[in-house]
Amino acid sequence: MDKQFDVLAKEIVYQGFFRVEKYRLKHTLFGGGWSAEITRELFMRGSCVAVLLYDPDADKVVLIEQFRTAAAILHPDRAWLVEIVAGAIEEGESAEEVAYRESLEEAGCEIEQLMVINEFYTTPGAFSEWITLFCGKVDSTQVGGIHGLDHEDEDILVRAVDFNEVYLMLENGEIESAIPIIAIQWLALNRQKLKQLWGNK
């Protein structure tokens, strides 16, 4: 079928730390013809990067923990989330450059090798966010402490955790953010291959 859509109107309804746009549109239907006019708000997040930092020799994953507003409002007793390094792509930056930068800023880690895991939308029904998810090889022996940029109000606890413990955290529901869940499940499937590819032992 010939899939088409028409944007009938667009307006910016909020501009702050983030931007919200409102659209009136219609689209073709699988059964033929066109939909009725629909109105949707779109949270403009832009393109972002997330990095699963992994030490294949120690078999450890670098996890970060930080306060998250949505978690605080919805589940006040679980306001701090266990995640992986992530950040927005600024104008003129490549996804790879952001991966290296954010790994240093948020975790104090220098990436030795980098590979793309996948690219995907996080919540395409309402958010424009497009994620490039990487795996980065790191040396975890000196990992730990509190990191982040003061001018971005970041307060990030960093630790290197054995893979088996990380996967147990996943199974026990201690990791509640989608991106690290996807990354850790990918690592579970590709861990032995990564050890062969990146390992020194």
**165 has catalytic annotation:** no
Residue stretches of the chain with pLDDT short of 50: none
Q: For 172, how many CA atoms within 13 A lie in the half-sphere containing its CB?
A: 8
For position 102, what pLDDT does the model report? Answer: 94
For 33-77, how does the pLDDT look when each residue is reduced to its tens digit (9 = 90+)? 999 999 999 999 889 999 999 999 999 999 999 999 999 999 999
For position 201, what pLDDT does the model report? Answer: 53
For position 148, what pLDDT does the model report? Answer: 80
Where does the chain hold its CATH 3.90.79.10 domain(s)?
47-198
Determine contact, residues 170/181, Cβ cutoff 8 Å.
Answer: yes
Q: What is the 3-state secondary structure (H, E, C) of 43-110?
A: EECCEEEEEEEEECCCCEEEEEEEECHHHHHHCHHHCEEEECEEEECCCCCCHHHHHHHHHHHHHCCC
For position 17, what pLDDT does the model report? Answer: 84
112, 152, 165, 174: the active-site residue: 152
The residues, any chain, with a CB within 8 Å of residue 39's CB and separated by 6 or more, are 22, 23, 24
State which CATH number among 3.90.79.10, 3.60.90.10, 3.40.50.1980, 1.10.357.10 fits the domain covering 47-198.
3.90.79.10
Q: What is the 3-state secondary structure (H, E, C) of 184-196?
A: HHHHHHHHHHHHH
DSSP three-state, residue 11: strand
